[in-house]
Amino acid sequence: MSVLRPIQAFDDNIRPASLMLQVYRLLDCGDAILTEGEFVQRLRELVRASATEDLMVVQNEIFLGLVRERANLPKSHLKSSMLGHLLRQAIVASCTGLDAFLPGLLRQHLPAVIAVKGREFIPQDEFVRDYCKELVFGVDEVLRLMGDEREATLYISNKLLGLSSFKYLAGRKGVHVVAALLGLSKPWDQIAGHLGRDREELVRTLELTVKRRNDIVHRADRPQADLEADQQPISYAQAEQGVDTIKHVCHALNELVDQSMMTLLASREVR
């Protein structure tokens, strides 16, 4: 059985986010939920519902739905304020996909990078140095590294990956660190260029999406500066932009790293 690549796992993880956006579009009718009138009566006759059964009709430019009484769904749950939770969870799901993708990509390629580059595998990069500053080897570990080269490569790789269990690989810095360790110089410049987007706008959108995820998960979508405030408003466009940005950044990073790894491995064969 083939091993699931990190980008494939990411696509699986982000699919629920896309699904929640689609469900929101289907159900959002601007709170114009019909419970009576000629149209409702015609639908009642069509489905042969009794005169006493409560019916709700949701309709917009792409969807027409009839909710019957047995669904046990309160009318308030179909209002925009409640449907907004679908948008919030879409943001959470997309960020979860990003959180899983970054260490997965590092785990896939870092052993090969270390094997080819040797001692020079850690780039002279501020974010990478900060991420690796707690990477400490004991005397017994140093002796272990003097043995089999392949075993040493895997050990260093796993040691570095172990940092992610207490040093979060997420957001702008997480993308930068993973990309730099896997051979990309000026990672965000390359990602933005690959996508044909403005670098600052791309980074800002990703950071705002991750920040919004934290507000949703830890503060019920209230701003960190004012925990007594009402929930922050959210729109379909905002959620879709955040989900799509994470999706595009991860796919761009994967494609750029694949290209970089092909070049790196080709250089080893030349040697």
Report pLDDT digits (tens) over 173-230. Answer: 999 999 999 999 999 999 999 999 999 999 999 999 999 999 999 999 999 888 889 9
Distance CA 90, CA 87 (A): 5
How many H-runs (helices) and E-runs (strands) does the chain carry? 10, 2
Q: Output the pLDDT for position 143.
A: 55
CA geometry: angle 255, 257, 258, nearest 5 deg:
65
Total domains, the chain:
1
Report if residue 177 sits inside a domain.
yes
Report if residue 134 sits inside a domain.
yes
Report if residue 71 sits inside a domain.
no
**How much is the mean pLDDT over the chain?**
90
Domain that holds residue 138: 79-270
Report if residue 35 sits inside a domain.
no
Specify the higher pLDDT residue, 152 or 61: 61
pLDDT band at 166 (very low <50, low <70, confident <90, very high): low
Distance CA 159, CA 137 (A): 9
Distance CA 213, CA 263 (A): 36
